Structure 1
Amino acid sequence: MKLLKRIYGKYQRFKLGMSPQQNLFYGFFTYVFFGFVLLCLPVVQKTSVSVLDHLFMATSAVSTTGLVTISVFDSYTILGQIIVCVLFQLGGIGYLTFTTFFLLSTTRKLTHWHSRVLKTEFTLPVTIKISDFLKSVIIFSLTMELIGTVAFLVAFTADGMSFAEAIWPSIFHSISAFCTAGFSLFNTGFTEYVRDGAINFIISVLAISGSLGFIVVTDLLLWIRRKSHKLSFTTKIIGFGFLILLVFGFSFFYLFEPAVYSLSGKERIYAAFFQSMTAMTTVGFNTVNFGSFLLPMLLVTILLMYIGASPSGTAGGMKITTLTAVLAIMKSRLRGRDKITFLGRSIPFERLYVATSSFIFYTSIIFLGTFALSFSEDFPFEKILFEVASALGTVGLSTGITGELSDFGKVFVILLMFIGRLGVLTFGIAVWSRGQKSKDVQVVEDDLAV
């Protein structure tokens, strides 16, 4: 007992001595490590799988990316598939979310350490309390996943599956869709369901619900319950931005992509909407083969994956709010204004500072990732760029090259997926921060021509 107490004490001191960003780094790394170890067990495997592919699968699941080098259904037993499902469930709702919710439910107290880490992981507007936010995350997630399971069960049985056969795929795909994980038990994904309106609708509702973010959900729930509560500026920006980008993607796919406009009637509408939605929400499912897309449509998809959806949600990408802040800076500069505003609201300097840093860092990683894979992989440039954007944005869409990547390529994509789930700034601070505030250093002020 004394030895265990001593080890636990050292662990606590180690944990408290790290910055919130470093705690998140090691937290998600722990998820990946234990997931990797479990997937390496022979009892969860149907066929022999390389160690690197197990690591790729574990990272992809925790990061809710959905890129795979092997088939989930053909490679893992039901137990292995459950492990993958648990990993993307944990990755989808965030580090410490379940444990903190349990803590709030029993003691109703949030420790200072929990509060610091959670506020780092979930960027919240000042109008929302972290305790209200966490409760809405758990309740909303489990509710939507339950509704999705029932809906999938009805849809799959209507398509010919027996009730018993449909139970596990319904649970798996419901959690995968809500967490925007993009994992499927079908080797062809959902390409066979391009004409199925019910399946298209179920996945879209689940993915949009998760990707719009728990900020929007919490804000809307508070608005419904409390008449005095006003929707935050963040919620309005996310809602309008998401709608504009969704219509933008839909229009391009509907009008210009042969794989979509070769379909007829409502099926063409289903396909155009679904491909735009899957890139925006970063859910990673597709009903049309992206490997056959025209180059301009691949670029449109890359742009949507690059932007992503909402912060503090299950989606990846740079985020709509980051893009909004950058556009606000550009607009105010072009109009010669000193104060940065958007839609008549002034944006705090601290948020602008974070947004510009994230924009620059995110774009730089995409460039460096594409540059590195261009050396190691023998694929067309646009397919490499697409793969990098998909990995960093934790999207999971691919033109079909993931399974053919070299070992170096797989390792590099693993790193990109991990950075994407952690967040580029969180990753950067975790790696380069010394954990202490730097002392004030006297510097000489000088001019820089820009």
Structure 2
Amino acid sequence: MKTLFKTLSLRYAVIKRGWSPQQNLFYGFLTYVVVGTVLLCLPWLQKTSASILDHLFIATSAVSTTGLVTISVFDTYNIGGQIVVMLLFQLGGIGYLTFTTFMLLSTTRKITPWHKSILNTEFTLPITIKIRDFLKSVILYTAIMEVLGAMLFFIAFTRNGMPAGEAIWSSIFHSISAFCTAGFSLFNSGFTDYVGDNFINIIISMLAICGSLGFIVITDFGLWLKNKAHKLSFTTRIVIWGSLILLSFGFVFFYFFEPTISSLSGNERLLGAFFQSMTAMTTVGFNTVDFGAFVLPMLLVTTFLMYIGASPSGTAGGLKITTLTAVFAIMKSRLKGRKNITFLGKTIPFERLYIATSSFIFYTLLIALGTFLLTFSEDFKFEKMLFEVASALGTVGLSTGITGDLSSFGKGVIIFLMFVGRLGVLTFGLAIWSKSITENERDILEEDIAV
């Protein structure tokens, strides 16, 4: 039996090395989803039964760190099932192969070219950051933030009257969920009961912002703290300024123009406006007010924030701030008649521009396609379906309350979008199509095209 297992393992290793990095990521995350679904289907991990489709939905939502749910996690799964869900969004949050490669570093101090190619594909690291430094910062930073978050949550929950035993588990679960921007909660009403609780709002915001800033930014800051001569990368500066602008943009609109929030008292109104802007931009997916009651303009503002998302190489989803910056830089440089594409006095490499424009087009097309498909099977208002699609592809987890009422087809569409959103739209495209290109590029004649 051992010999057979060893033989199969070796053959599988050979097969994996024959795949492209994109295909390895595709099948890696798919494996997480399948294993998670099988585990959640086990009767002894459940309080009440649910359909296989719902278990698949929860597993995909967890691996993709989205947080959309068709069934209540607390009411459906016992402590064992809840642990499985937590492990899935923990793995999804830190990324495929991150932990195993870190362990490889800890034992052999060598990273194979296979590991390096996959990690570079998943995280798209700038040349100023080495993979060894990056992996160490990912694991250590994640552990520190999640432990700190759990301790703070425990204080907050017990102060609000929660029994100590329940508070321990809730603190661990919600700390990991917040840092991984997973949006999963053991409270069926989310955090709406804590809209005016300063402490809990601060804890969630701290964890979500720290997770969504991205491991590139954290690694960069860590290197700067060690050596003041180290200059913060162009990526880090864009992420920080972009995050501040988007947070401020959302806060102003929610504070002044959303009746659900403007009807709150002074402190609750401030917290509500900031939290809803933060949760959409960081894609953490928690909410302290009901998005289903939002007026149409504010639903569109939230959709815009979810569409953009936060930083690359972090726990957040969305198109990414850096991608939108590159597209904006192209437009700005074209309008000024410049040949080179620049932003903040820096020239952006054409390879990055190709990736950014491709991501922008593909991402936007998927949102349009997903919304179009839902209009065939669902009977909800258009803006609610658009909101749901943007939340799924952006791995946000916010909803106007329609997720549980989706048809089987609608759930299938959302499952697909959540998976693609976690994998990355370009990674997904390359995983599907890169091996099917058989044309010899030397045989393709160059031809001009008017655009």
TM-score by length of 1: 0.99
The number of aligned residues is: 450
Please tell me whether residue 194 in structure 1 is matched to residue 162 in structure 2: no
Query: Residues 346 and 418 from structure 1, CA distance in 2 versus in 1: closer, same or farther, beyond 3 angstroms?
Result: same
Tell me by how many angstroms 1:448 deviates.
1.9
Shift in alpha-carbon separation, 1:386–1:413, aligned structure 2, 3 A: same
Answer whether contact 1:220 1:231 (CA < 8 A) is retained: yes
The CA deviation at 1:436 is: 7.9
1:100-119 deviation digits (Å, cap 9, x = unpaired): 00000111000111001110
Change over 3 Å in CA distance of 1:97–1:437 after alignment to 2: farther
Structure 1 partner of 2:347: 346
1:438 offset after TM fit, Å? Answer: 5.7
2:192 matched to 1:224? no
The residue number in structure 1 matching 2:33 is 32
| 1:433 CA drift (Å) | 1.1
Task: Determine the structure 2 residue equivalent to 1:399.
Answer: 400
What amino acid is the match of 1:47? T
Matched-pair identity in % = 72
Q: Structure 1 CA distance, aligned partners of 2:98 and 2:300?
A: 35
In the alignment, the residues of structure 1 paired with residue 116 and residue 313 of structure 2 have an alpha-carbon distance, to the nearest angstrom, of 15
| 3-state SS of 1:128 partner | coil
After the TM superposition, list the runs of 4 or more consecutive aligned residues in structure 1 that deviate by more than 6 angstroms.
none
What amino acid sits opposite 1:77 in the alignment? N
1:273 aligns with 2:274: yes
1:319-343 deviations in Å (ceiling 9; x for gaps): 0000000000000000011110001
In the alignment, is residue 152 of structure 1 matched against residue 153 of structure 2?
yes
Comparing 186-195 with 2-11, greater Cα deviation is found at 2-11
1:95 maps to which residue? 96
5+ residue gaps in structure 1? none
Question: For 1:187 and 1:7, how far apart are their aligned partners in 2?
Answer: 43
RMSD after superposition: 1.0
Counterpart of 1:210, as a letter, is: G
Distance, in Å, in 2 between the alignment partners of 1:102 and 1:214 is: 18
Q: Which residue of 1 aligns with 2:120?
A: 119
Q: Secondary structure at the match of 2:284?
A: coil
Gaps of 5+ in 2: none
Q: Which deviates further from its counterpart, 38-47 or 157-166?
A: 157-166
Partner deviation per Cα, 1:375-419 (whole Å, 9 max, x = no partner): 110000000000000000000000000000000000110000000
Deviation at 1:19, TM superposition (A): 0.1
Distance (Å, rounded) in 1 between the aligned partners of 2:5 and 2:215? 38
CA displacement 1:294-346 (0-9 Å, x = unmatched): 10000000000000000000000000000000000000000011110001100
Aligned to 1:418: 419
Partner AA of 2:368 in structure 1:
F
One-letter amino acid matched to 1:364: L
Structure 1 residue 265: Cα displacement: 1.0
Partner of 2:444: 443
Distance in 2, Cα, partners of 1:58 & 1:443: 43
Displacement of 1:437:
8.5
Residue 330 of structure 1 aligns with which residue? 331
Deviation per CA, 1:340-390: give whole Å up to 9, x if none: 000110000000000000000000000000000011100000000000000
Assess if the C-alpha contact under 8 Å between 1:19 and 1:435 holds in 2. no
Encode CA deviations 1:109-160: one digit per residue, 9 max, x unaligned. 0011100111000111111001100000000001000000000000001111
CA distance in 1, matches of 2:117, 2:436: 13
Aligned residue number for residue 56 of structure 1: 57
C-alpha separation between the residues in 2 aligned to 1:354 and 1:199? 38
Q: Which amino acid aligns with 1:42?
A: P
Deviation at 1:64, TM superposition (A): 0.3
How many Å apart are 1:165 and its aligned residue? 1.9
What is the one-letter code of the residue matched to 2:91? Answer: L
In structure 2, C-alpha distance between the alignment counterparts of 1:436 and 1:336, rounded to whole Å? 35
